[in-house]
Structure formats: C-alpha cells, structure tokens
Structure 1
Amino acid sequence: MAEKEQVAPIRDHPSNYEGDISTHPQRNHQRKFINSCVCLLVFLLLLAIVIIVLIFTIFRVKEPIIRMNSVQVTKLELANNMSLIADVSVKNPNFASFRYSNTTTTLYYHGIMVGEARGPSGHAKARGTITMNVTVELITKHIISSPNLSADLGSRLLTMSSFSSVPGQVKILKLFKKHVVVKMNCTMSFNITTQGIQELDCKSKVKL
C-alpha cells in the first residue's frame, strides 16, 4: 500500500501574535492620553466659567452710595461767623473695603464760596456704611456782600449749595485696585426764623 501522504499542520506565524501583543500597550497609552486631555479641557472650561462668574459678581466694583442725612445749623448770625454740621454717610456695596483719602466739602451762596471743610481719611468695610460729621465754618462777609442777600432776608430763607468729594479706591484680594471718586451736589434752604434746614435736595455721581 502506498504510504499516506502526511499533511503538515498549518501553524500561525508567530509574528502575528507578537504584533497583536505589541499593539495593546500602544492602544492603552493612546486611550489614557485622550482621557487626560479630555479631563484637562473640562477642568480649564470649568475654571474659565468660575473666573467669569467671579468677575461679574464678587470682583465687579460697584458704585459706593453717598448720602447727606441731615444738616444742623449751630450758629445763624450774619453779624458773626456761622457754622453748620453735615451728617454724611457712604455705603460700600462691594465685597471688599473702600478706602478713601481726605474728603472735601465746599459751601456756596449764589455761586460764591462761603465755606470749606476737609475731613480725615478712613475706610468703609465690605458691604458696610461709614458716617462722617463735617463741620463747615461760613465766611459771613462773603454772604453780606452778595446782592441777593436782601431778597433772601425778605423771604426769611438763605439758599445755598454744597459740593462734596470723597476720593478712594476699592482693593480686591490685595490684587485688583479700582480708583473711585464719589461726588455729591446739594441745594439747601436755611430758615432764618427757625434756624433750621427747610429744604434739602442732593444728587450724587460716582466716577470709576
């Protein structure tokens, strides 16, 4: 009998296994790299959103609010010196303190300066209010020399105007500084009979 032909078994080439095994670490490395990049992008996006929110909320400098609460006349005698005490408050709506330098208050009688006062420097705490008492000594000779005095004496009212300026700055986290100037113009009428303020109208303006 003829010998049966022996068929050699087909063997996989060893290089195929080696190629598959060698590509697995590369794929894992690529996946880890892609995942790391995605995580980094998500982190940067969240960080940008947080910074934008802080800029438009906490880091945003809001306008301080200045008010003339009251004006008290201590002496109302044209023959002698006159003086008045103005109660002024500054409200700080920011999340950082508002530090201001020397304040200035000037009093006018029909456009003529008749008194000026300067206040000390200070600061208003974050979201707090500071109150200042400003005493102004009036120069009566400037009032007496005004041609409008006779008409005001007839009406028993002395109409005056004042200008106050509070320059300062808001510092956030000791990194960001914003210079602020708070200004206020007031018109007031002094009643000669009652020696008190009859009318008081103020308008404020803030320069950032």
Structure 2
Amino acid sequence: MEVESLRNKNDKSPMENPQSTSDAARVLRNRRKWKNICFVIIGVLVFIVVLFVILAFTVFKAKRPVTTIDDVSLRDLKVSVDLARFQVLLNATLDVDISIKNPNKVGFKFKDSNTQLNYRGQQVGEVPIPAGKISADKTVPMNLTLTVMADRLISDSKFFSDVTSGELPLSSKTEIPGKVSVLNMFRISVVSSSSCDFTVFLSNSSVGDQNCKYKTKF
C-alpha cells in the first residue's frame, strides 16, 4: 500500500502543479516579447538605411562644383623693344576674378590649388589658392593677381613677333580638387577646372577675345 501511495504521488498530472505551469507560460511570454522587440528594431534599422539611401541619391546627391573665370583684366603693362639687340622687355600684371559655386546641399572642401598663366603652352605665371570650404548652395568669389614671368617669355622665339604685332596670346588654367561629404557617410572626390584663352592688346593695354571652358569630374 505504501508503494502504491508513492507511485500515485509521482504520477500527478501537470495540471496539479500550478507553479510549474505559470513559470513555463512566463518564459513563453518573455520569448515572444523579445522576438517582437527584435523585429521592431530590425524594422527601424531597415527603414533608416532605406531613408539614408533615398536621401543620398535625391536631395543630397553629389553635384558638380563649378569654377568660373569671371574676368581677366590688365592691371599694369610695360613693354619696350630693343631692336639693336632684338630683345623685348616686358612687365605685366593681370587681375583674374574667379568664382567657385557649390550647388550641393552639403559643404564642399577643397585642397590647396593654383591658377596658372600660360603663353603658347609654356607656364609664365602662377598664383596659389589656399584650401578652404564652401557652404551649401554658396558661391565664393576670389580675386587673383598674376605676375608674368618675363624671362620665360623672352626665351620663346615667337614672343618678339607677337609683341611687334601688338597682340599677346595668353591662357589661364585653374584646377581645384576637393571632396563632397554626403550625410557624413560618403565622401566623393571632385575636381573642378576652368581654362580661358584670351589676348592682351599691347596698343591700348586691354584684354579681349576671351574663350573659356569649364569641366568637373568625379
């Protein structure tokens, strides 16, 4: 009888142990709760990533900064011809006004660069452009002063004939490398360049026949 009594105690159904049933139900509820929380977190993260991608390719899509040469003027010009020595002495200073436009919705940081002055493909002048930053949708004007390196002009065989004709063909070139940061996640390298061909008329110390080209590459 005692053995049968012990067997009956051990064979009680789960329903006769409410504490065990309550613990199992609590564990199940906690698992479901954490699953729901994980699904919500994953859903929010996916939404944020999709939103960032949409903004990166629409509102914050990287656009091309444009460097424009607005004006080239002659500040100072002194020319003298030594026919006996078949030599030309020249002192010239040019004012070059450029502007850098940033059409992006974020800032554009550019590195140290320069503007070069060329005569028939040979560099005869240079002025540095210090590094800086242009805010979103802003245009920054710059006034540069270029001094012609006369010693480099004299060595060119065509220089004497150009001076005697009264027209000096020159060109300027500006190349500005920088980066556009999209949503502080993507950094896109950009190089904005501009070049202008123009003529310095020695008879009246003026600049004319300007032809400029602009280019931007990622």
TM-score class, shorter: 0.7 to 0.9
Give a deviation string over 1:74-119, Cα, whole Å, max 9, x none.
Answer: 1122354311111000100001111112221111111221111112
Matching residue within 106, 129, 133 for 1:119: 129
Structure-2 separation of matches of 1:172 and 1:41: 24
Structure-2 separation of matches of 1:102 and 1:39: 48
Structure-2 separation of matches of 1:46 and 1:172: 18
After TM superposition, give the deviation of residue 169 of structure 1 in Å.
1.4
Gapped regions of structure 2 (runs ≥ 5): 1-32, 81-89
| Counterpart code for 1:134 | L
Structure-2 separation of matches of 1:126 and 1:82: 37
The range that moved more, 144-153 or 162-171, is 144-153
Aligned to 1:72: 73
Q: Could you say if the C-alpha distance between residues 123 and 38 of structure 1 is closer, same or farther in structure 2, counting changes exceeding 3 Å?
A: closer
* Number of aligned residues: 195
Calculate the TM-score normalised by the size of structure 1.
Answer: 0.74
Matching residue within 202, 213, 216 for 1:203: 213
| Counterpart code for 1:57 | T
Aligned to 1:58: 59
Query: RMSD value over aligned CA atoms?
Result: 3.4
Aligned to 2:18: none
Structure-1 separation of matches of 2:48 and 2:121: 55
Structure-1 separation of matches of 2:176 and 2:72: 18
For 1:128-207, what aligned pairs fall within 5 Å after superposition?
A: 128-207=138-217
The answer to whether the Cα contact below 8 Å between 1:66 and 1:89 also exists between their aligned partners in 2 is yes
Aligned to 1:22: none
After TM superposition, give the deviation of residue 45 of structure 1 in Å.
7.2
Give a deviation string over 1:51-79, Cα, whole Å, max 9, x none.
Answer: 34212123321110110000121112235
After TM superposition, give the deviation of residue 146 of structure 1 in Å.
1.8
The answer to whether the Cα contact below 8 Å between 2:56 and 2:182 also exists between their aligned partners in 1 is no
Structure-1 separation of matches of 2:71 and 2:57: 35
Q: Could you say if the C-alpha distance between residues 120 and 36 of structure 1 is closer, same or farther in structure 2, counting changes exceeding 3 Å?
A: closer
Calculate the TM-score normalised by the size of structure 2.
Answer: 0.71
After TM superposition, give the deviation of residue 39 of structure 1 in Å.
8.2
Q: Could you say if the C-alpha distance between residues 162 and 176 of structure 1 is closer, same or farther in structure 2, counting changes exceeding 3 Å?
A: same
The range that moved more, 145-154 or 157-166, is 145-154
Structure-2 separation of matches of 1:121 and 1:37: 47
Q: Could you say if the C-alpha distance between residues 142 and 132 of structure 1 is closer, same or farther in structure 2, counting changes exceeding 3 Å?
A: same
After TM superposition, give the deviation of residue 125 of structure 1 in Å.
1.0
Structure-1 separation of matches of 2:41 and 2:142: 52
The answer to whether the Cα contact below 8 Å between 1:186 and 1:200 also exists between their aligned partners in 2 is yes
After TM superposition, give the deviation of residue 159 of structure 1 in Å.
0.6
Structure-1 separation of matches of 2:120 and 2:102: 33
Gapped regions of structure 1 (runs ≥ 5): 1-31
Structure-2 separation of matches of 1:99 and 1:189: 33
